[in-house]
Structure 1
Amino acid sequence: MDSSSGRDVESHEPVRNVVLVVLDTARASSVDLSATTDRPRTRSGPPEELPTPTLNRLAADGTAFEHAVATAPWTLPSHASMFTGLYPSEHGTHGDHTYLDPTLRTLPEAFSDAGFRTIGVSNNTWITEEFGFDQGFDDLRKGWQYLQSEADMGAVVRGEDIREKLEATRNRLFDGNPVVNAANILYSEVFKPSGDDGADRSTSWIANWLESRRGDRPFFLFCNFIEPHVEYDPPRAYAERFLPDGASYEEATAIRQDPRAFDCEDYEITEREFDMLRGLYRAELAYVDRQVGRLRNALEDAGEWDDTLFVVCGDHGEHIGEHGFFGHQYNLYDTLIHVPLVLHGGPFTDGGRRDDLVQLLDLPATLLETVDVDDPQLREQWSSRSMHPAARDPPREAVFAEYVAPQPSIDRLEARFGEVPDRVREFDRRLRAVRTAEYKYVRGDDGFERLHDVVDDPFERTDLAANEPERVRSLRGRLENRFEPLESAGSNEAIDMRDGTKERLADLGYL
């Protein structure tokens, strides 16, 4: 029986397929899964519009996890944890080593060897074959491209005017197949929906694949939507629904969005401007939520919805002025590691709300158990615990997160900005966090430490470390029991990237 709803988990038919949708940079604090889609009016006026009505309906019909925690505050290590069931220091994929170790067993490999068709559509440059994430996929596509190509024509899209666009076209057109490159340029410049960063194209491709696929093999489908990531540039119609009173679309979209420059005090953002940026961010969530609805419709049209475990999560969160930060680097506040997580299908249908502590690295054990697949190699490797209502795994008493290496490094910041502020130089450290139901403790390899009462101080504003030495000692012991000493840093083997990849990652604020 599921203790949260009193239902008999054995009464549900097993599912055949698994769909894992990652809303890149979706933070739990901006996705209220407890809210209904028909909020009543209040005396002070109309209710604030929900950005994710599709996800809220899924949460109402499926199982919502209120305390889901990412293992890392950014894309690369977080996805590696979801694919391997390991913490960043265990899988070794992070800012100083940006390639997923091919000797590690991955979730797509487990599904593939169990007879599943494995399809991936990624709109984040990190989650591509260039960084080793194609392991186990029959097909891993770049969602932002009209035609698949190793050459990225993003430099054309980023051109500020026609002169820059023509120059970029001339420089890149013959980098690979010029016909394919021309088609990708034409799509991006003419036919791509305004404010879309690949979600519309990805959802349409998946719908066509579902409609045209042959045979009765079950499938594992992974999709990363990147719209909530910097830069926030939602379609005007979405933006205008969420901008604060008195703010125009033109004013909001003119705000400079350069997180690393903001960190290095190259420019300032006022609180009013942050309010507008938060509106744009919520609009991005609303836009991508619509794509989640389209995916559900495509599965229903293909007759696969009732046989599918449908999972939606954020891979990490985002700072939009909170704690004085913009973006998602250099710390482990809950703003960055507390993420939305909803499962629907099989034993997770009508599952209610779960308030136990879970991690995104628990997905491999959960997904495989739900479709009755056992993979001894992956099971022997992982730190994953199943969230299945009938799982034998004990509930977690604590969850953990790591920031293995600054991304970008302080050296890269100095190369770009010259002298960087002392505040930023302090970020050149390795961090680990342990979070229980009541407390959160963060420790750095430079002696930095913070303690927060996350019940009374959910926004982590008050550091209690100096006042509660015994609790600090206890939680520090948990970290030391779980991981090797903080002083042993990870491998420093970042791979050489293609020029187009560097440009796209720079646009996302990573380089």
Structure 2
Amino acid sequence: MNVVWLILDSLSFGATPFAEDGPNTTPILKEVADSEGVTFTEAYAPGPLSPSSHAAMFTGELPSVAGMHEAHPYFDGGIPTIADKLRRTHETHLLSLNMWLFQGLDTGFDSTKDFSRQYLLFRDATDPLNYFRKHDPDGSELRRLLRFATAGGKPVRSLLNYANYKRLNGSLVPEQWGDSENYQYAEQINNELRAIVDTNDQDRFVFANYMDIHPPFDASDEALERFAPGMSRDELPIGIPPERHINNDEKSYEPNVMEKLYHAAVWDFDRKLGSTLRDLIEDDTMVIVTSDHGIWNCDTAYSENRLHVPLVIFAPDEPPRTVDHTVNLRSLPRTIMEYVTGESGGFDGRSLLDVTSDEISVTEVLHHPNEVYEKTGRIDVTKRIHADEQVQRDLVLIKGDARVEYIDGTWNTVAGGESVLTNLQSYGEQILSQDFKQGETDIEYDAITEERLEDLGYM
């Protein structure tokens, strides 16, 4: 059986029609989910941003155990991922242009495609940027190029990749907007995904992360008419990074106007995903649709908009239904393994398809407090200048209507009855009593990566 896991990066539950009184931004996904899927209305992300959340989803472990989080955004391995486990029975593929997925999490896949690597004329040949990051061969430039060219067994194509990379140097991501530019690659990822699963010689596992609804945003005229009626494009913050390093009243745009643009971008994306999703379901593919975290334009790492995410599982022979119990995306590796192989794969937790009561959801935040955090309460992914500072470890625990937070070394009760809150705090204290893992790999970003991080609001 093919398995496809789709991450709609930065999609908040409250920004969808799955939420009570939510905007009708994903009518196609909602229609398909109602008729074919298992819809979870109380699903939460295990981390506040891409590094921690993806690491936890891949491993089924807390970010502190996986070792990849905002204080150390690199996966050093040592813990099996869902790709490692499924590799025994499936051909595994990773599709994305989210750079955090290529910081160690990609090692368990048979093939990976970073759609930001637009300089690659031949993706089956050697990637010069990846090669020279990992290898520093001695000798003259001619000898270095010879080793590079012969590394993948396709010397001519590899050299053409190298020549195109040098030609483009520094302008690898075009500045124009459109589906195939910047971070809007839905159609390209859809086409690649279909090409992979349409090959019937072996079962396949595909993890695809879409960045189309991650700021900076653009949207079609039709979408803007629906969600920002009466506003011209000049009045909308099109192409503007989220400016999360400053307070909301200091931004160059009105946050509520950015939200309109966000909803329009989500609606556009829903139209692009719809036919691919239906095709996968008709082919009896297990499909998981969720997000790594919600929108982070205005809110802190601990807010409902950031942590509460949509989750729909489409599994052959599973009746469509709605699950209103609290769950965490960290249980997805166990869910996939049990459904596909009948075994746990060594992942903790229980299958979400068997949930009949509220689980304890844990979101763990490990970061280096800096000037942005002190000013806005929003966390940053580590910059090199903060790498030697002390790590702050925060928790958000949710079960049903109960919620407690451990932030800045203090427990705070947000909602819930006394007995449940006591249980949640005790559970959290057990987590805090365990050491957290911080990888050993030095974190260095090239100029292109740093530019991407700035565009996306991480730096």
Which range, TM-score by smaller chain? 0.7 to 0.9
Which residue type is aligned with residue 209 of structure 2? N
From the superposition, tell whether residues 189 and 262 of structure 1 become closer, same or farther in structure 2 (CA, over 3 Å).
closer
* Cα distance change, pair 435–495 in 1 and its aligned pair in 2 (3 A): same
What CA distance in whole angstroms lies between the structure 1 residues aligned with 2:196 and 2:423? Answer: 52
The whole-number CA distance in structure 2 between the counterparts of 1:362 and 1:280 is 32
* Residue in 2 that maps onto 1:311: 288
- Matching of residue 430 in structure 1 with residue 400 in structure 2: no
Instruction: Look up the match of 2:427.
Output: 478
- Equivalent position of 2:303 in the other structure: 333
Map of 1:139 onto structure 2: 111
- Inter-CA distance 49–96: structure 2 relative to 1 (3 Å threshold): closer
Question: Which of 268, 286, 305 is the equivalent residue of 2:251?
Answer: 268
26, 51, 62: which one aligns with 1:76: 51
Task: Determine which of 163, 188, 195 is the counterpart of 1:201.
Answer: 188
Cα RMSD of the aligned pairs, angstroms, is: 3.4
Which amino acid in 2 is paired with 1:228? I
Unaligned ranges ≥5, structure 1: 1-15, 36-46, 153-173, 414-419, 455-467
Matching residue of 1:23: 8
1:125 to 99, 107, 121: 99
Count how many residue pairs are aligned between Structure 1 and Structure 2.
411
The secondary structure found in structure 1 opposite 2:271 is helix
3-state DSSP of counterpart to 2:108: coil
Match of 1:230 in 2: 215
The percent identity for this pair of structures is 26
Does the 8 A contact of 1:240 with 1:248 survive in 2?
no
Match among 244, 247, 270 for residue 289 of structure 1: 270
Q: 1:102 to 1:187 in 2, by over 3 A?
A: closer
Contact conserved, 2:67 with 2:439, CA < 8 A, in 1?
A: no
Match of 1:229, SS state, is coil
Q: What letter is aligned with 2:179?
A: P
Counterpart check, 1:386 vs 2:351: yes
Please report how far the alpha carbon of residue 230 of structure 1 lies from its aligned counterpart in structure 2 after TM superposition: 1.5
Q: Which residue of 1 aligns with 2:451?
A: 503
Kindly indicate whether the alpha-carbon contact (under 8 Å) linking 1:316 and 1:339 is maintained by their aligned counterparts in 2.
yes
Between the aligned partners of 1:94 and 1:317, the Cα distance in structure 2 is: 17
- Residues in 1 aligned to 2:270 and 2:177: alpha-carbon distance in whole angstroms: 21
**Which amino acid counterpart does residue 60 of structure 1 have in structure 2?**
D
Whichever residue aligns with residue 302 of structure 2, its letter is: L
TM-aligned CA distance change 1:57 to 1:183, over 3 Å: farther
Following superposition, the deviation at residue 509 of structure 1 comes to 0.9
Q: Which amino acid is the alignment partner of residue 282 of structure 1?
A: H
Q: Is the Cα–Cα contact under 8 Å of residues 240 and 249 in structure 1 kept in the other structure?
A: no
Matched, 1:402 2:364: yes
Contact 2:325 2:356 in 1 (8 A): no
In the superposition, the TM-score normalised over structure 1's length comes to 0.72
CA shift in 2, pair 1:92/1:276, >3 Å: same
Structure 2 residue aligned with 1:11: none
Q: Deviations over 1:418-461 (max 9, x none)?
A: xx8655599984210111112110012x333332227xxxxxxx
Pairwise CA distance, 1:492: 6.7
**SS at structure 1 position matched to 2:367:** coil
Aligned mates of 1:79, 1:186 — CA distance in 2: 25
Give unmatched runs, 5+ long, in structure 2: 131-158, 381-390
CA distance in 2, matches of 1:187, 1:74: 22
Provide the C-alpha distance between the structure 2 equivalents of 1:19 and 1:426, rounded to a whole number of angstroms: 31
Query: CA contact under 8 A between 1:72 and 1:402: conserved in structure 2?
Result: yes
Is 2:66 the counterpart of 1:91?
Answer: yes
| Pairs within 5 Å for 1:293-372 | 293-296=274-277, 298-299=279-280, 305-321=282-298, 325=299, 330-348=300-318, 350-372=319-341
Q: What are the Cα deviations for residues 460-481 of structure 1, in whole angstroms up to 9, with x where unaligned? A: xxxxxxxx88775543212113
Provide, for residues 193-218 of structure 1, a one-character-per-residue CA deviation record: whole Å limited to 9, x for no partner: 3776222221122233344x3x4211
Please name the residue that 2:86 is paired with: 111
Q: Is this contact kept in 2: 1:144–1:201, CA < 8 A?
A: no
2:236 alignment partner, SS class: helix
Cα contact 1:194–1:235 (8 A) shared by 2: no
CA distances 1:121-162 after superposition (whole Å, capped 9, x unpaired): 01211111xx1111321111112344354649xxxxxxxxxx
Task: Using the TM superposition, give the Cα deviation of residue 320 of structure 1 relative to its aligned residue in structure 2, in angstroms.
Answer: 4.2
Aligned counterparts of 2:343 and 2:268: Cα–Cα separation in 1:
37
Closer, same or farther: CA 396–139 of 1 in aligned 2, 3 Å = same
How has the CA–CA distance of structure 1 residues 503 and 441 changed in structure 2, closer, same or farther, with 3 Å as cutoff?
A: same
* Structure 2 residue aligned with 1:459: none
Over 3 Å counting, the alpha-carbon distance change for 1:280 and 1:182 in structure 2 is farther
1:151–1:500 Cα contact (<8 Å) kept: no
